[in-house]
Amino acid sequence: MGGGTVYRHFPTKDALVSALFAAELDAEIARSRSAAQSDDAWAALLGYLDETLRRQAANRGLRALLCPSGSAFPSVQECRAVVDPHLEILIDRARSQGALRADATARDITLLQVALVGIMDATPGDPDAYRRHLAVHLDGLRKRGAGE
């Protein structure tokens, strides 16, 4: 397919990004919705982060798209507009269930993901590096005495 053909089908970068990543963005929304509805908010948070980060580790394009610079795309903004409230619900529930520190916020989870993407990028030869750091960060987010 030539450049002209691409531009005829996808007149903007967002149109191209939307087409390439629609399934991944829809899956992100579904994961966040499912996590927010789960009975065990801490387990749901762990599952959400594990799957979201695993998918980003496996797909460099998705990783770049979901990082802060990718949020300029309307399709990513639309995704975040749905995902962020789900994360707020999930975090509130994890705190109320006594599993998460009282001062932890959904923004902390977003920043954690940004940090872990940086670790993915810095350690391409060690695909498990981000998982080790995720475990360390989650230990810090967990309310003292919870799950012990």
pLDDT on residue 2: 59
List all residues 6 or more positions away from 66 whose beta carbon is below 8 Å from its beta carbon.
28, 56, 76, 113, 117
Range of the domain at 129: 10-141
Would you say residue 4 lies in a domain? no
Would you say residue 2 lies in a domain? no
Question: The domain that contains 32 carries what CATH number?
Answer: 1.10.357
List all residues 6 or more positions away from 22 whose beta carbon is below 8 Å from its beta carbon.
75
Would you say residue 3 lies in a domain? no
Would you say residue 148 lies in a domain? no
Would you say residue 146 lies in a domain? no
Instruction: Print pLDDT tens along the chain (148 aa).
Output: 555 566 677 788 778 878 888 899 999 999 999 999 999 999 999 999 999 999 999 998 888 888 776 677 888 889 999 999 999 999 999 999 999 999 999 989 989 999 999 999 999 899 889 999 999 999 999 988 765 5
Would you say residue 118 lies in a domain? yes
pLDDT on residue 4: 59
Would you say residue 92 lies in a domain? yes
Would you say residue 79 lies in a domain? yes
Nearest-angstrom CA–CA distance, 115 and 17: 23
Please compute, for residue 89, the number of CA atoms within 13 A of its CA located in the half-sphere on the CB side.
15
User: How many domains does the structure of the chain reveal?
Assistant: 1
Tell me the helix, strand and coil percentages in the chain, rounded to 5.
80, 0, 20
pLDDT on residue 85: 96
